[in-house]
Structures are given as structure tokens and as C-alpha cells.
Structure 1
Amino acid sequence: MDIQKESQTVDSKFIQQHLANERTYLAWIRTAIAIIGIGFVIVNLHFTLQDKISHTADLVAVFLGGLAFLLGTATILLSSFEYTKKRKSINQQTFKASHNLIMILSSSLVVCLIVMGVLYIIYVINKMY
């Protein structure tokens, strides 16, 4: 019986790093799915729970839902790019931790949350008067 010995790949030298990179990538994908889900929930709740819907409120709900969808899609695209870049840099032993993706996505989420909060406060104030 002839057993072939497989040659060692470059990836196999850095197994832990590659597995950590994959876990991080999957965490970003889960985050993107959650962001997109929040967008759908916003739109769905708005149109389901409102008795009387104003045109402005409809536009705001659709805008926020669309914004969440775009942010989730951007998260998927950027995380895929970062995963591929990190995979290559791990194999070449030139890995440098990047913070650009985290800063871009965190800033975008903060802006999204601020817009949602301000619009909600305006909506509540208008309902009171």
C-alpha cells in the first residue's frame, strides 16, 4: 500500500492565524446580517404599527431601512476585502493590524444611530403637540 505524503502548504504554517481570520470574517458577516435585519425591522414596524402614516414618516422609515441595507452590504464587501488582504499578508508574513475597516463601519453605525435617534425624538415631540 503506497501512502502519498502531501506537501506542506504555506497556509498550513499559519493555521491559527488563518482560523482566527476566518472567525473574524464570519463575525463581520453576522454583524452585516444583523444590520440589514434592523433595516427590515424598522420598515416593517413602521408600516405595521402605525394607524395613520404621514408621507414624511414613510420616507424616513424607507430611508433608514435602505441606509441599514446599504451599510450591511458595505460591511460584507469591506470585510471580504479585508479577509482576502489579511490572508495574503499572513502567508507573506507582512501582517499589520488595520483599523480602517473598524473606524469606517463604527463611524457609519454611530451616524446611523444618531440619525435614527434624532428622527425618533422629532417624531415623539410632534406626536405630543
Structure 2
Amino acid sequence: MNKLSKIDRQREHQANERTFLAWLRTSISLIGFGFAIARFGLFLRQLSTTITQRETTTNPTFNSENLGIILVLCGILAIALAAWRYNQVFWQIERGDYQPNRLAVWIITAVVMTLGFLCLPLLLIRNTIVPRPSSTINQQKTHNIH
């Protein structure tokens, strides 16, 4: 193996590592956004309940907590896919038969776009407020005083 081909192979491996790190950043972003969406939705619901003294209702299946969990799971799956792809490309570079594969890019694109579209209703739909019975409010006020 001559010096030039060894340098080219090193550059290919470095490019593969940079690509893996980009996937890692994407995965961390998905996990972070998922965590933030889930916790911020919970915070807003608790804040609304505290301010209005009324419980807010949310859709049991389509809510910010579930969307956050889905984003975290997608982040975990994205890093698993990135590690698999990194290893696959590593060995292709070593064998000298690298074959580009855009399937993983299209999969992650579709997943992130779908999750983005699922976020839209959460931003547009407002929670309805369900009045609490006055006895519950009085019990809480009494409990807070003692």
C-alpha cells in the first residue's frame, strides 16, 4: 500500500467518524427535545391548574408527554442506526468497496418530519379546563393552611 492510498483511507475513516458524530448530535437533539417537550407540557398543565384552580384535560394518547417519549425513543434508535452504519462503512472502507446507502438518511428524514408534523396539533390545540368541585378546592385550601 503506497503512502497516498494510506492517507486517502485515513481521510475516509475521518469522514466516516465525522458523519457518525453528526448522527450522534442529531440523536442527542432528539432526546433533548423529547425530554423538554414532555417536561414542559407537564409544567404548563400544572401551572394552568394552579392558576385557574381547575384541572385541565388532555388527550390520553396524543399529548406532549407521549410525543416526548416518542422523540426520546427515536433519538435512541437514531444512535443505534448511526453506530450500525458507522461500523458498516468502516469495513467497506477497509475492504475498498464502499457503497453509499441513502436509506438511513431517508428513514431519519421521514421520522423527524413525521414527529414535526405531530407537534403542530400540540401547538394549535388548546386544552379545555374542567371545573373542580368546590369541595375539592376548599379541602386543598384547608390542607395548605394546616
| TM-score bin (small chain) | 0.7 to 0.9
Counterpart for residue 28 of structure 2: 33
Counterpart for residue 138 of structure 2: none
1:55 Cα deviation (Å)? 3.8
Counterpart for residue 71 of structure 1: 74
Checking the alignment, whether the CA contact within 8 Å between 1:32 and 1:75 is kept in structure 2 is yes
Aligned residue pairs, count: 118
Q: Specify which structure has the bigger relative contact order, considering alpha-carbon pairs within 8 angstroms and separated by 6 or more residues.
A: 2
Q: Helix, strand or coil: the match of 2:97?
A: coil
Q: CA RMSD in A?
A: 2.4
Checking the alignment, whether the CA contact within 8 Å between 2:12 and 2:93 is kept in structure 1 is yes
Question: Where do 5+ consecutive residues of structure 1 fail to align?
Answer: 1-7
Paired letter, 1:116: C
Larger radius of gyration: 2
Counterpart for residue 103 of structure 1: 106
Paired letter, 2:78: T
Checking the alignment, whether the CA contact within 8 Å between 2:41 and 2:64 is kept in structure 1 is yes
Percent identity, please.
Answer: 25
Larger strand proportion of the pair? 2
Q: Compared with structure 1, are the counterparts of its residues 12 and 91 closer, same or farther at alpha carbon in structure 2 (3 Å cutoff)?
A: farther
Structure 1 segments of 4+ aligned residues over 4 angstroms from their partners: 10-13
TM-score normalised over the length of structure 1:
0.80
